[in-house]
Chains A and B, each alone.
Chain A
Amino acid sequence: MKTSEQAVTRTPAPAIRIDKVSRHFHDAQGEFVEALRSTSLDIAEGDFVAIVGPSGCGKSTLLNMLGGFDHPSSGRITLDGQLISGPDIDRGMVFQDYALFPWLSVLDNVMFGLRHTQSREDARAIARQWLDLVGLADFERKSPRQLSGGMKQRVAIARTFATNPRVILMDEPFGALDALTRRFLQQQLLKIWREHRKTVVFITHSVQEAVYLATRVVILTARPGQVKLDERVDLEHPRQINDPKFRDLETRIFDALDEELAKTFKLEASDGYAD
């Protein structure tokens, strides 16, 4: 633990290296789609990287490739120098729609990823610890069906962090939640992240969320996706959204995004006329 924390504060070694990655495919209608073009990005150990971009910019494609569910058409993605070839418990994932197993209790959901490596007792102890940390200790016997959206996502976060992965990939995890729940979960996530310093890659539509949470905000261009802007966020936690520095950064990111949004709309408009 100590050594990895020092590594964060000193010169961070890149944990994830995305090297000239392109991804293109034919969609359901047989149209050629170029989602990403020669995108490169290094992510350091302990970084919290938020990726923002217009819809269809390839940010989900990128996350899927990091998860090992999709593969680059060209280029390579490595974690600690190892080529990512498929999904692995090393790379935890938090999904927008929670993906809890409805036939398992809350506790059994959190224990799910621990059963491969831990005894039942140890798994239960670790799972309880994490449920406690997200404030759901009293809900361990409940079925996920009985929980609200925010609570489900807290269970999913506990389930992912409990397995102690190298990297945590989050695919618009708070996108389906109302504003207040969202704010609460952002704070909880930050608390956990600051304690455990996991490497996080976080996809979001919200610039404010990105600047509030991340150590680094990456903007992707409209299709084909490429890195448009890569901003380090050096603000102290807890960040204030009306802090002038926060606002400044937000404005800069919005300016970059606006250009891409304009392109996206132009693209969609021309598509519309062509049909």
Chain B
Amino acid sequence: MARSHPVVGSLGPYVFAMLAILSIWQLAVVALAPPPSILPSPTLVGQTLLEEMSSGALFVNAGISLARVSVAWVLSAVIAIPLGVFMARSRLAERLIDPVIELFRPISPLAWIPLAILWFGIGESGKVFIIFVATFFPIVLNTVSGVKRVDPVLIRAGRVLGCARQIDLFWRVIFPASLPSILVGLRISFGTGWAAIIAAELVASNSGLGYLIADGMEILRSDLVMVGMAAIGVIGVLVDAVFKVLQTRFG
């Protein structure tokens, strides 16, 4: 029984879902016999995956995409967390900044791609800019709500226990109390950043997983496109799993 083994038990549903998708896919290829450029067979995609892995191209491109997201995401966090704290602690700041954020938030980061290319060209800074836009708002908003929702009685406890200065109170009470919510923002934003980098690389790049996919399309290699897509999914799940572990440790 899967129940007897915790790891197998938790992976069971994953394996089952993967097998189901692969079976339906294989059945469709057998029944419809499409040209490989339209729908390659799972085995062909598997072969391509192995090739891309053994040549290292997949890891290089995945690494480049991850690095771009990470740099922009860290930059975003460095600005968004203090801004969120400031907004949560100052009524005036919130009333001034909140409308601006509400106006920019609904604009998809992808809508910034044309301007990013015009402003920064197709180099690294344009992509960092797009990921910055994509990751900024979830971090700000979760920081604001986290800091605002700190239980007032904890703040009082901090003050009667000697946190006389605001700065002590912040580092010893307010920040740790709002950390779980900030971590949620960081996790969500990494996801939105990861989705956005692929789009940015699709349009203007010569490296990264997005480029791998765009390149596959241009040379009619759907198997390569699918390998790129699978890598995006797997890395997304892995990164999210790391955040979940962090969240249970600090949450």
Contacts and interface: CB of A to CB of B under 8 A. Distances in A.
Contact of B156 (A87, A117, A159, A160): A87
B175 to A, nearest CB: 10
B154 A101 contact: yes
B164 interface: yes
Interface residues of A, number: 25
A112 B157 CA distance: 10
Contact of B173 (A95, A101, A116, A117): A101
A62 interface: no
A170 to B, nearest CB: 12
Nearest to A116: B162
A93 B160 contact: yes
A117 B250 CA distance: 27
B161 A159 contact: yes
Nearest to A104: B176
Interface size band for B: 10 to 19
B249 to A, nearest CB: 10
Contacts of A46: none
A39 interface: no
A25 interface: no
Interface in A111-133: 112-113, 115-117
A67 B160 contact: yes
A93 B156 contact: yes
Contacts of B177: 101-103
Interface in A75-111: 86-89, 91-93, 95, 97, 99-104
A265 interface: no
Contacts of A101: 154, 157, 173, 176-177
Contacts of A117: 162
A112 B160 contact: no
B176 A103 contact: yes
A155 to B, nearest CB: 12
Contacts of B157: 93, 95, 99-101
B153 A89 contact: no
A92 B154 contact: no
A103 B179 contact: yes
What is the interface of chain B mostly: helix, strand, loop, or mixed?
Answer: helix
A204 interface: no
B149 interface: no
Contacts of A100: 157
Contacts of A88: 160, 164
Contacts, number: 55
What is the interface of chain A mostly: helix, strand, loop, or mixed?
Answer: loop
B162 A99 contact: no
Given A97-B153, A101-B173, A89 B160 contact: yes
A91 to B, nearest CB: 6
Contacts of B250: 103
The 7 closest A-B pairs by CB, nearest first: A113-B161, A99-B157, A89-B162, A87-B159, A116-B162, A93-B160, A99-B153
B172 interface: yes
Given A93-B156, A93-B157, A112-B161, 20 more contacts: A69-B156, A69-B159, A86-B159, A87-B159, A89-B162, A89-B164, A91-B160, A95-B156, A99-B153, A99-B157, A100-B157, A101-B173, A101-B177, A102-B177, A103-B250, A112-B158, A112-B172, A113-B162, A117-B162, A163-B161
B139 to A, nearest CB: 20
Nearest to A165: B160
Nearest to A99: B157
Nearest to B159: A87
12 contacts: A87-B160, A88-B164, A89-B162, A97-B153, A100-B157, A101-B154, A103-B177, A104-B176, A113-B162, A115-B162, A116-B162, A163-B161
A69 B152 CA distance: 12
B157 to A, nearest CB: 4
B43 to A, nearest CB: 50
Contacts of A67: 156, 160
B154 to A, nearest CB: 6
Most buried by A among B159, B164, B173, B176: B159
Contacts of B154: 99, 101
A140 to B, nearest CB: 18
Interface in B151-194: 151, 153-154, 156-162, 164, 172-173, 176-177, 179
A133 B159 CA distance: 24
Interface string A1-44: 00000000000000000000000000000000000000000000
